[in-house]
Amino acid sequence: MTPFLYERAADRQGALALGARAGASYLGGGTNLVDLMRETIAHPELLVDVTGLSREIEDTPEGGLRIGAGVKNTAVAGDRRVRQRYPLLAQAILAGASAQIRNMATTGGNILQRTRCAYFYDDAARCNKRAPGAGCDAVEGFNRIHAILGASPACVATHPSDMCVALAALEATVTLEGQDGGREIAFADLHRLPGETPEVETQLRPGELITAVTLPPNGLAARSTYRKVRDRASYAFALVSVAAGLELEGGVIGDVRLALGGVAHKPWRAHAAEAALKGRPATESVFREAAEAELAPARPLRDNGFKIELARRVIVDTLVKLARTEETV
């Protein structure tokens, strides 16, 4: 670990001022960033601890919820309002990591956690994220956990978060604060696909701070679920996960949300599948068509071809079960 300075931000302005310094990184729970520092993958010169800021979960006037970026994952998953109105989010968070890690991890940190690609984690390997232009050793290496959708020759890494898959399905928005003021962007727009510049992972500008995530009033609470498939029963990243919410009107699909985890460089909102579902009868064959539509552009790598079939099955099965469940609210 490279020596660094540590400052605890007293307030937002202080955080932004410190965050603007060269070599500064914001610090949440540190469960990802500190690991990367130990592996000498990240070398911040200044850590600006922002865990003291934005620690509230508040009702919004529109009937949604605003979750401060500093709220711990455990606190979000345990919040009564979240559990009742956004069960999908609580389930997704609890499907991730371990209790100890969730106790430390923050909402902002979870969103900005880095990929688990082994070649990103090993500075003896080539990685375009770490060293743009160096090449990518994952393309022909171990890529069981890598992307089947939206990848590029430059990078086939996935975004590992469970929470973010739920946020994508819920159509959350993210509040950012920078030196030049604040802005609000759709969660779906926050993370980028790798393209030619996999080192640029989000729309965040240098020094910009995530202060909150806002959930819209509709939490899909009546009929939603998070399904995660992994290599062991707990404490493993998703091979494929599905966040789904469904509204039925007399057997016909109304609003529907579908997002996939473990398949792409960003939490993958399944727009093609949604389009194939809206206004159609909630039958297995329709679900299958929707899954096919979403996965048509999927491209396998050496080790991850099974994910295409797995994603297809999990999408269909999740929707079949959701369609069958009694409304819970």
Partner 1 sequence: MSFVQEAMQAVMKKAIALAPDGWIPGGHPDPLMREKHGLIGASISRIDGPLKVAGQARFAAEFPMEGLTYAALRHSTIARGRIVSLDTTQAEAAPGVVLVMTHLNAPRLKPTPPFGSKPQAAGGDDVPVMQDDRIHWNGQPVAVVLAETQDQADHAQSLIRVQYEVQGGVTSLDAARAQGPEPGKFQGELLKVEIKDAEALFAAAPVKVDAVYRTPPHNHNPIELHAATLAWEGDELRVHDATQAVAHAAWTLSQVFDIKEAQVHVTSPFVGGGFGSKTLWQHQILAAAAARLAGRPVRIVVSREGVFRIVGGRALTEQRVAIGAQQDGGFDAIIHTGLTVMTPHNAMTEPFIVATRSAYAAKSFKLEVDTVKLNMVANTFMRAPGEAVGTFALESAIDELAAELGMDPIALRSRNEPEQDPTNGLPFSQRGVEQAWKTGAERFGWETRNATPGATRDGDWLVGVGCATATYPYYRMAGGAARIILDRTGRAVVEIAAHEMGMGTATAHTQVVAERLGLSLDQVEFRYGDTAFPGLVLAGGSQQTASIGSAVIVAHRTLVTELLKLAGNDSPLAGLKPDEVGGLDGGLCKLDEPGRCESYASILARAQRETLTVEGEAPPPLELQHWSMHSHGAMFCEVRVNAITGETRVSRFLGSFDCGRILNAKTAASQFRGGIIMGLGLALMEDAQFDERTGRIMNPSLAEYHVPVHMDVPEIEVMWTDEPDPHAPMGARGIGEIGITGVGAAVANAVFNATGKRVRDLPITLDKLL
Ligand X SMILES: Cc1cc2nc3c(=O)[nH]c(=O)nc-3n(C[C@H](O)[C@H](O)[C@H](O)COP(=O)(O)OP(=O)(O)OC[C@H]3O[C@@H](n4cnc5c(N)ncnc54)[C@H](O)[C@@H]3O)c2cc1C
Question: What's the closest the beta carbon of residue 3 comes to partner 1, in angstroms?
Answer: 6
Between 1 and 252, whose beta carbon lies closer to ligand X?
1
User: Could you say which residues in the range 252-281 bind ligand X, by CB under 6 A?
Assistant: none
- CA dist 164 → 89, 137, 260 (Å): 9, 26, 10
Verify binding: residue 104, ligand X, rule CB under 6 A. yes
Verify binding: residue 32, ligand X, rule CB under 6 A. yes
List, in sequence order, every residue forming a beta bridge with 215; answer none if it has no partner: 65
Between 42 and 323, whose beta carbon lies closer to ligand X?
42
- CA dist 157 → 2, 105, 129, 195, 214 (Å): 25, 22, 9, 11, 27
Strands of the sheet containing 46-49, edge to edge, are 5-8, 46-49, 24-27
| CB neighbourhood size of 328 (10 A) | 10
Question: What's the closest the beta carbon of residue 19 comes to partner 1, in angstroms?
Answer: 24
Verify binding: residue 115, ligand X, rule CB under 6 A. no
**Residue 272 touches which of partner 1, ligand X, none (Cβ within 5-8 Å per kind):** none
User: Could you say which residues in the range 171-230 bind partner 1, by CB under 8 A?
Assistant: 229-230
Verify binding: residue 124, partner 1, rule CB under 8 A. yes
Query: How many whole angstroms separate alpha carbon 209 and alpha carbon 231?
Result: 34
Task: Give the list of residues 6+ apart from residue 133 with CB closer than 8 angstroms, or none.
Answer: none
Among 23, 297, 309, 329, binds partner 1 (CB under 8 A): 309
List, in sequence order, every residue forming a beta bridge with 260; answer none if it has no partner: 242, 268
For 113-135, b where at least 16 C-beta lie within 10 A, e where not — what string? Answer: bbbebbbbbeeebbbbbbeeeee
List, in sequence order, every residue forming a beta bridge with 225; answer none if it has no partner: 244
Cβ atoms 265, 147 nearer than 8 A: yes
Question: What's the closest the beta carbon of residue 105 comes to ligand X, in angstroms?
Answer: 3
Residue range at the interface with ligand X (CB under 6 A); choices 24-32, 124-132, 214-222, 298-306: 24-32
Verify binding: residue 30, ligand X, rule CB under 6 A. yes
Between 124 and 296, whose beta carbon lies closer to partner 1?
124
Question: What's the closest the beta carbon of residue 134 comes to partner 1, in angstroms?
Answer: 14
Binding mask 232-251 for partner 1 (x = CB under 8 A): xxxxx--x------------
Residue range at the interface with partner 1 (CB under 8 A); choices 14-22, 54-62, 77-85, 135-143: 135-143
Measure the CA angle with vertex 82, ends 79 and 85; round to 5°: 145
User: Could you say which residues in the range 144-183 bind ligand X, by CB under 6 A?
Assistant: 160-163
Cβ atoms 221, 85 nearer than 8 A: yes
- CA dist 288 → 109, 169, 262 (Å): 35, 19, 20
Question: What's the closest the beta carbon of residue 30 comes to partner 1, in angstroms?
Answer: 15
**Residue 210 touches which of ligand X, partner 1, none (Cβ within 5-8 Å per kind):** ligand X
Question: What's the closest the beta carbon of residue 203 comes to partner 1, in angstroms?
Answer: 28
Query: How many whole angstroms separate alpha carbon 160 and alpha carbon 237?
Result: 6
Residue range at the interface with partner 1 (CB under 8 A); choices 5-13, 18-26, 63-71, 112-120: 112-120
For 294-312, b where at least 16 C-beta lie within 10 A, e where not — what string? Answer: bbeebeebeebeebbebbb
**Residue 112 touches which of partner 1, ligand X, none (Cβ within 5-8 Å per kind):** ligand X
Judged by the rule CB under 8 A, the positions of this chain that interact with partner 1 are 1-3, 38, 40, 116, 118-119, 122, 124-125, 137, 140-142, 229-236, 239, 306, 309-310, 313-314, 317
